Amino acid sequence: MIETLDELRERAFCCIDCDLCETRTNVVFGEGDPRSPLVLVGEGPGEEEDKSGRPFVGRAGKLLDKAILEAGLTREQVYICNTVKCRAADWSTGKPQNRAPLPAEVEACRQWLIPQLGLIQPWVILCIGAPSAKNLIKKDFKITQERGKYFRCDFSKVAMAALHPSYIIRQQRPGNDGGFSLLVDDIKLAWETACKLRDEQGGPE
């Protein structure tokens, strides 16, 4: 029985349960405040995350940091992890291109994500992007229609979803923020909800 996040991280570092282990540099387990009422769960590491071993440190990560700051928070106040802990990329063309994790890879990585959430016991989970919401909220989650709403979740009191910063970057045009302000709003609402639930329902320290 795994009792601490450090123990779980150590085990995850040795995982060979899907093909992503063959090309990874690092297992990107997660980081932040494990006592935070709010956990952000992204899709999976990209090139920079694979190199550094830290979630959301590349281009999408910089935009997420900006949104977290605009929501009145810092990265250190939340816990950040991913649906899959190893980089999913297409290696067929010589230069690896990030790709969405396959259902089998998502499934294999639940053995790390679910206990990770179980040890943190967040009040709110904010799924960053559709793959995370489909994994933790419901299979047919529609990110553009259902982001910013509250859902029941087996791993927290409430789950919500927000647009993924990579999607926002692809949508951005002069005069169009690509949904960045929605991401800020969703982070703000998720944090306020998490703190409210903790303060109303949390037991004594």
49 binds ligand URA (CB under 6 A): yes
44 binds ligand URA (CB under 6 A): yes
Q: Which stretch binds ligand URA (CB under 6 A): 36-44, 112-120, 143-151, 175-183?
A: 36-44
> What's phi and psi for 79, nearest 5 deg?
-110, 135
In the complex with ligand URA, the residue whose CB is nearer, 20 or 157, is: 20
DSSP 8-class letter at 57:
-
The least distance separating ligand URA from the CB of residue 64, rounded to whole angstroms, comes to 8
Percent of the chain as helix, strand, coil, to the nearest 5 = 45, 15, 40
Contact 129, 163 (CB under 8 A): yes
Contact 137, 51 (CB under 8 A): no
In the complex with ligand URA, the residue whose CB is nearer, 71 or 163, is: 163
What's at 123, amino acid-wise? Answer: W
Q: Which stretch binds ligand URA (CB under 6 A): 56-64, 119-127, 140-148, 189-197?
A: 56-64
66-85 residues near ligand URA, rule: CB under 6 A: 82
Rounded CA separation 30/57 (Å): 12
29 binds ligand URA (CB under 6 A): no
Binding site for ligand URA (CB under 6 A): 42-46, 49, 55-56, 58, 60-61, 82
